[in-house]
């Protein structure tokens, strides 16, 4: 899933302080799981904002709503009938949801309420770690299903670099060296000989480098 992290409340206040009718819009998917933008966090942020405006002596309406998803037309349509009551939306969805809401309600200011991070697993409650950067050309078959693109600080495809020490990455003793993990895994699979196969230059055009990406599936469209 995608993990997001809370934005400092001061930053949100700074964006919205001139508005008077604000909708805090949550999302029931990833941001709910990572406890940054679900129904509960919408409630917490709305209360904090109400408190702030009260202290400032300003009369500001702050409402709450959480959609099933903000990345689908279907669910975003649910607020069409009520959107005119507001002069701003703070979306607690990932950056995808913020943008899709803004695209749909073209004259409505929409502000991000979280910092969208990356694609993760939940290692334990409150700890999410990166596993994928969506490079568009999966090489996990070659690397024992450990991804050097997302998990190596230098995206080294023929690693490790010289900095790998005691299984940890040179940038931080708390971070596993992806290539130590790959070697351990190849060993467990009895495939250590595969280590000596050289990974060719990667086609990064399917990654960020290629510009905004699209997946078109005609079989699904029909």
Instruction: List contacts with ligand SF4 (CB under 6 A).
Output: 152-154, 156, 159-161, 163-164, 169-170, 177-179
CA gap 98, 76 in Å, rounded:
11
Q: Which is nearer to another protein, 1 or 138 (CB)?
A: 138
CA gap 63, 43 in Å, rounded:
9
CA gap 35, 106 in Å, rounded:
28
Query: From the CB of 135, what's the least distance to another protein, in Å?
Result: 12
Q: Does 196 bind another protein (CB under 8 A)?
A: yes
Q: Does 161 bind another protein (CB under 8 A)?
A: yes
Query: From the CB of 118, what's the least distance to ligand SF4, in Å?
Result: 16
Q: Which is nearer to another protein, 30 or 149 (CB)?
A: 149
Query: From the CB of 116, what's the least distance to ligand SF4, in Å?
Result: 24
CA gap 145, 182 in Å, rounded:
8
Half-sphere exposure of 205 (CA within 13 A, CB side): 1
* Tokens, residue 181: 């993990």
Size of interface with another protein, in residues (CB under 8 A): 31
CA gap 199, 188 in Å, rounded:
20
Query: From the CB of 133, what's the least distance to ligand SF4, in Å?
Result: 14
Helix H or strand E encompassing 176: strand 172-176
Q: Which is nearer to ligand SF4, 89 or 152 (CB)?
A: 152
Alpha-carbon separation of residue 209 from 47, 91, 109, 204, 214 (angstroms): 41, 28, 30, 6, 13
91 binds, among ligand SF4, another protein, none (CB under 5 to 8 A by kind): none
Tokens 């930053």: give the residue.
Answer: 11
Q: Does 205 bind another protein (CB under 8 A)?
A: no
Give the CA radius of gyration of the chain.
Answer: 22
Q: Which of residues 118-157 bind another protein (CB under 8 A)?
A: 153-157
75 binds, among another protein, ligand SF4, none (CB under 5 to 8 A by kind): none
Q: Which stretches of the chain bind another protein, using CB under 8 A?
A: 153-167, 170-171, 177, 179-180, 183-184, 187, 192, 195-196, 198-201, 204
């Amino acid at each position: 899933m995608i993990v997001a992290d809370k934005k400092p409340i001061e930053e949100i206040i700074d964006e919205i302080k001139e508005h008077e009718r604000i909708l805090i819009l949550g999302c029931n998917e990833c941001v709910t799981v990572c406890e940054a933008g679900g129904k509960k966090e919408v409630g917490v942020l709305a209360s904090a904002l109400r408190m702030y405006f009260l202290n400032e002596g300003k009369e500001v309406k702050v409402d709450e709503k959480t959609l099933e998803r903000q990345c689908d037309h279907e669910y975003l349509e649910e607020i069409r009938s009520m959107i005119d009551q507001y002069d701003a939306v703070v979306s607690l969805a990932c950056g995808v949801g913020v943008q899709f809401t803004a695209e749909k309600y073209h004259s409505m200011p929409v502000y991000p309420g979280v910092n969208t991070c990356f694609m993760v697993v939940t290692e334990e409650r409150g700890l999410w770690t990166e596993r994928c950067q969506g490079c568009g050309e999966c090489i996990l078959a070659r690397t024992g299903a450990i991804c050097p693109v997302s998990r190596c600080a230098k995206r080294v495809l023929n690693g490790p670099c010289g900095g790998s020490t005691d299984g940890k990455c040179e940038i931080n003793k708390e971070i596993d060296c992806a290539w130590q993990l790959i070697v351990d895994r190849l060993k467990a699979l009895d495939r250590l000989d595969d280590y000596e196969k050289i990974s060719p230059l990667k086609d990064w055009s399917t990654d960020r480098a290629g510009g905004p990406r699209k997946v078109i599936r005609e079989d699904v469209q029909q």
